[in-house]
Amino acid sequence: MASKIYAPDLLEGQVVLLSGGGSGLGRAAAIELTSCGARVVICGRREEPLEETAALCAGGLCDVEVCDIREEDQVEALVDGVLERHGKIDVLVNNAGGQYLTPAEDITPKGFRTVMRLNVEGTWLMTHAVATKAMIPAGEGKVVNVTLSPHHGLPGMAHSSAARAAVENLTRVLSIEWARFGIKLTAFAAGHFATQTLLTKYPQPVVDNVAHSVPLGRLGTEEEFAWAIAYLASPAGDYYSGSILTMDGARDNWVGPWPPQLITDEAGKPPAESRK
């Protein structure tokens, strides 16, 4: 499958390790990266969805590895295996993550630890292993950490809001410490995207109304996310480091349309009596 906007050799010769590649945004990113010529290794806890992603990728350029990023020994083995087969890792995309919608008072200690382990510790284990084994010896590399928008937190997701903020500060700190090794780190904060998880795993009132919370009035597409990841992986992204990039249709800045619907008429203009 050819990229709609990038040259087919944009990422030729690059090796990308991408976690959470079995569905949604991770799957879309793997498809786009391979369409630009990159060799992509995707990992996740279940082999079947990973194989489905690989079948959708261009030219047999997608490899599949089962790995639970929360487990240090599995992460070490994953990175060692990629280096043994491909000799390098140019880009790491820490896309794997997860959370569940629940009031803060109902989050159990176990539930909080589960979300923190996956989103923070898993990201750290992957980043540290790739940096020390591949990127520091090579004197270069890129890490993209996928986080969430809005940045001021999401009600019903106190655990995930805390975890993603931790990842963003980790990104900032490592971009300073590891600049001397030529490693660039960026956090990519994704807003509301039309993924199968959002459309099928969340309460219907949330699904029906979430697009109305975005000033642009729509959800993001998986392709838009994938294009941004490919951009950061490309030479065009070489001067990004320590940045928190947000793609959310302006949701981080405001909830819903402007002017607010309650003070506008159907045409989106102030009511006639207020214009006299």
Asked if the structure places residue 61 within a domain, the reply is no
**Token pair of 12 as six digits:** 């030729």
Out of 13-17, 38-42, 272-276, which region has the weakest mean confidence (pLDDT)?
A: 272-276
The pLDDT of 211-217, averaged and rounded, is: 92
Beta bridge partners of 246: 189
Beta bridge partners of 94: 145
What confidence tens digit (pLDDT) does each residue in 146-194 have?
999 999 888 888 999 999 999 999 999 999 999 999 999 999 999 989 8
In what order do the strands lie in the sheet containing 183-190?
62-66, 39-44, 15-19, 91-94, 141-148, 183-190, 244-247
Q: What is the pTM of this model?
A: 0.92
> How crowded is residue 209: how many other Cβ atoms within 10 Å of its Cβ?
10
Asked if the structure places residue 264 within a domain, the reply is yes
Asked if the structure places residue 143 within a domain, the reply is yes
Give the list of residues 6+ apart from residue 2 with CB closer than 8 angstroms, or none: 8, 35, 58
Residue 170 burial (CB < 10 Å; 0-12/13-18/19+)? middle
Asked if the structure places residue 229 within a domain, the reply is yes
Total domains in the fold of the chain: 1
Parent domain of 169: 78-275
Confidence of residue 142 (pLDDT cuts 50, 70, 90): very high
User: How far apart are the two ends of the chain, measured CA to CA in Å?
Assistant: 56
Asked if the structure places residue 19 within a domain, the reply is no
User: Omega into 259 within 30° of 0, i.e. cis?
Assistant: yes
Report percent pLDDT > 90 for the chain.
Answer: 79
The pLDDT of 57-79, averaged and rounded, is: 96
The secondary structure of the chain as a DSSP string is ---SSS-TTTTTT-EEEEESTTSHHHHHHHHHHHHTT-EEEEEES-HHHHHHHHHHSGGG-EEEEE--TT-HHHHHHHHHHHHHHHS---EEEE---------GGG--HHHHHHHHIIIIIHHHHHHHHHIIIIIHHHT-EEEEEEEES-TT--TT-HHHHHHHHHHHHHHHHHHHHGGGGTEEEEEEEE--B--HHHHHHS-HHHHHHGGGGSTTSSPBPHHHHHHHHHHHHSGGGTT--S-EEEESTTTTT-SS-SS-GGGS-TTSS--GGGG-
The pLDDT of 257-275, averaged and rounded, is: 60
Asked if the structure places residue 262 within a domain, the reply is yes
Domain at 169, CATH number: 3.40.50.720
Asked if the structure places residue 9 within a domain, the reply is no
Query: Of 196, 166, 262, which is closest to residue 23 (Cα–Cα)?
Result: 196
The pLDDT of 227-246, averaged and rounded, is: 98
Distance between CA 142 and CA 91 in Å, rounded?
Answer: 5
Asked if the structure places residue 226 within a domain, the reply is yes
